Amino acid sequence: MAEITVVTDDITTLEVDAVVNAANPGLRGGGGVDGAIHRAAGPSLAEECRALMSRRAPLDPGEVVATPAGDLPARFVLHAVGPVWGAAPPHVQDEQLAHCYRRGVALAADLGCRSVAFPNISTGVYGFPKDRAAPVAVAALREALASRPEVAEVVLACFDEENERLTRAALA
């Protein structure tokens, strides 16, 4: 099975095949990880997102789509729309969050990626409880990696020490 590592680092600087963006439903860029990825990738990422969204409705929680990565060291950005905490029953939101990680691994594999970096999806402004998100993410990744062995490395790029601690505990 793939190696899962946990770091507290800037996801935009990681040398992986794909980075996952904690995106909003319209892929418009924004704050947090989303804003950082859009700034680091340059204007071509916003252009790719606009073109993609001109052909479809906004994404639902749990959906993941890919674009080229612009100026990032990665080849692709996988835009995952996580749930906004409180918008649905907790068990539904757990499944939506898990789907972001499972679909992220599957899409990375479909694109020929051997390495992918994920942020702590939905644990920032979307308010998903960090202590609930970490075990959901780890379980979903383990499940996805078991069926997609071509993805050899997953980096969980935590924004803060609390997410890093909780994610490491979930991996133990």
Instruction: State the catalytic residue, choosing from 34, 60, 110, 131.
Output: 34
Pairing of strands 3-8, 76-81: unpaired
Q: Which residues in 68-77 are b (16+ Cβ under 10 Å) and which e?
A: ebbebebebb
Helix (H, G, I), strand (E, B) or coil at 58: coil
Paired tokens of 164:
């890093």
Active-site residue flag, 34:
yes
Residues 61 and 93: their CA atoms lie apart, in Å, by 8
Q: Give me the DSSP letters along 73-125.
A: SSSEEEEEEPPPTTSS-HHHHHHHHHHHHHHHHHHHHHTT-SEEEE--TTSST
Virtual torsion, Cα 22, 163, 73, 55, nearest 10 deg: -10
The residues carrying an active-site annotation are: 34
